[in-house]
Amino acid sequence: MEKTPVLEVSGLKKYYKSRRGTVKAVDGISFEVRPGEVVGFLGPNGAGKTTAIKAITGLANYEGVIKIDGVDLNEDHVGALRSLGAIVENPDFYLKKSAEWNLKYLASVSDETALRKGYPKEEKLGKIIADRVEKAIARVGLTERKKSAVKTYSLGMKQRLGIAQTLITEPKLLILDEPANGLDPDGIKEIRDLIRSVAESGTGVLVSSHQLHEMQLMCDRVLIISAGKIAASMSIDELSAGEGRKLFVRSDDPAGAKKILEAKFGVEGAVVTGREVHFRTGAELSEITRELVMSGLNIYGVAEEEVSLEDVFMSKVHSRTESVPGDREAEDVR
C-alpha cells in the first residue's frame, strides 16, 4: 500500500504586485513528499523556491491547497504546523541565548501532544522537554557546547543547531532551505548523513539547495522549479534513463567523428572539447565504436559518462527561462 504523503501541494500560487504589474512568483505548482523520502527542491535564484517554502511553512499567504500530514494549512493552521519542522532561508536563533535555551524555548511553544509522543502519560511536561532537548542536542553533536551563547558558534554548528530545532518534536515533514550553505566538505557530509538518518526514521524531507552534486547524493527525488512552475520532477534513478545516455569519443579528428555521429546516428548538440566529442544517444556503444573505426578514424576511446543532476538542471532551467523572460523579478519585489 502506498504511503500517504506528508506534504501535498496542489495548485499553489503566490502573486505579487509590482510597479511593472503582477509577478507570478509561484504559478500553480503541485507536488507531494512521502514519508521517509528526501525530495530535492531545485531552481535558480528567483525561481520561486523560497516563496513556495514560505507558503508551505505558513509564513506567507497563498492560493491553492497545502496539506501537511493530511491537514489543510489554510483551514487548520496550527494543526498543520504540528507535523512540521522547518528552516526557512537561514536557521534563526536567539543569538545571545544558549543552544539549550533556544531549544527549550522552542519546545515550550510546541504542541503538547507532539511533545508527549513516545513518553508515558504520567511524565511531567518539563521533564519531557528537558529530555527532548538533550536528545536533540546530542543528535547534532553539540552537547559540550550546549550552554554557550549561540553567537559564539561556527557556521557549521549553527546549521546543526538549526536542524536540532526542527527535530525537537520529531516532525513528520522536515523542510530545509539551503541546509549546507557555507559549510566545508566535512560539514556538508555531516548534514547529508543527518538528513538521511532523519528520513530513514520515516520523516519526509523537502530540501532546497544550489549544491546539485550534493542533492544528487542526498535525495531520492528532485523537483526543478523555474519561473514559478515545476519544470521537472524525477527520481535520481530516472536521471540517466530519461535523457538518454551521455557518451564521449576520444579521437585525433573529433570534428570528423562529430560529423559521422550526426550522419549515422542522428546525434544533435554534440560538443567538441579538445580531442573529445561529448553527445547523447540511444545507440549502443559497440555499434558506435564499429562505425567510427570503419570510417577510418583513429579512435582512442569511447565511454559512457554519468548523467549529472547538473546536466538535467541546466537543460530544464534554460529551456524555461529562455522562454520566460523577467522571471527573476520575483525575488526582487519581496
Partner 1 sequence: MFGRLYWGELRKQTSGGAIITLSVITVVLALLMAVLFTAFNDLVNGVEEDIRDSMNSESGVTVGVNFDTGAPAVSSTGQSYTQEEVLTTLNYLYAELEARELQKEEEGYDYYRGSDYIYYVKGEIAFFEYLRDNELYGVRIGVMRDGAIASGEVTAEMFVTLMRSILFLLPLIYASIAAGSTFADEFKSGTIKLVLTRPVGVNALTTAKLLAAFTHAVAAYAAMFLLLVVLGYSFFPAENVRAVFMFNNSAPTLAPSSAALGIGFTTDLIMLLSYTVIAFFVGVVTKNRVVAIITPIILVDVVGGIISLAGLGRFFISNALDWGQFVGISSTVTGGADFFISLPVWAVYMAAMLVLSYFVVKRRDAV
Distance, CA of 262 to CA of 257 (rounded, Å): 9
267 binds partner 1 (CB under 8 A): no
106 binds partner 1 (CB under 8 A): yes
How much of the chain is helix, strand and coil, in % rounded to 5?
Answer: 40, 25, 35
At what angle are helices 254-265 and 285-294 packed, to 10 degrees? 120
**Beta-sheet pairing, 276-281 with 271-273:** antiparallel
Give the residue, chosen from 64, 65, 111, 276, that forms a contact with partner 1 under the rule CB under 8 A: 111
- What's the min distance (Å) between Cβ of 160 and partner 1? 15
CB-nearer residue toward partner 1: 105 or 248 = 105
Segment interacting with partner 1 (CB under 8 A) among 85-93, 188-196, 235-243, 302-310:
85-93
Segment interacting with partner 1 (CB under 8 A) among 54-62, 138-146, 214-222, 232-240:
54-62
74 binds partner 1 (CB under 8 A): no
Give the residue, chosen from 26, 73, 84, 219, that forms a contact with partner 1 under the rule CB under 8 A: 84
Q: Take residue 186 and report the three cell numbers written for it.
A: 566535512
**Beta-sheet pairing, 221-226 with 229-235:** antiparallel
Tell me if residue 42 falls in helix, strand or coil.
strand
Does an H or E element contain 25, and which? strand 21-33
Q: Take residue 43 and report the three cell numbers written for it.
A: 531552481
331 binds partner 1 (CB under 8 A): no
Amino acid letter, 325: P
Q: Where are the beta strands (DSSP E) in 150-298?
A: 173-177, 204-208, 221-226, 229-235, 245-251, 271-273, 276-281
110 binds partner 1 (CB under 8 A): yes
Give the residue, chosen from 28, 36, 64, 79, that forms a contact with partner 1 under the rule CB under 8 A: 79
- What's the min distance (Å) between Cβ of 175 and partner 1? 8
Neighbours of 2 (CB within 10 A): 5
Give the residue, chosen from 24, 49, 54, 192, that forms a contact with partner 1 under the rule CB under 8 A: 54
241 binds partner 1 (CB under 8 A): no
Among 44, 90, 40, which Cα is nearest to 218's?
40
Distance, CA of 16 to CA of 24 (rounded, Å): 7
- What's the min distance (Å) between Cβ of 118 and partner 1? 17
- What's the min distance (Å) between Cβ of 58 and partner 1? 6
Segment interacting with partner 1 (CB under 8 A) among 90-98, 186-194, 243-251, 266-274:
90-98
For Cα atoms 4, 7, 8, give the angle at the middle one, nearest 5 degrees: 85
109 binds partner 1 (CB under 8 A): yes
Q: Take residue 275 and report the three cell numbers written for it.
A: 580531442
Interaction residues for partner 1, span 160-179 (CB under 8 A): 165
Count of residues touching partner 1 (by CB under 8 A): 30
105 binds partner 1 (CB under 8 A): yes
- Binding residues for partner 1, rule: CB under 8 A, are 54, 57-61, 77-79, 81-82, 84-86, 88-90, 92-95, 105-106, 108-112, 114, 165
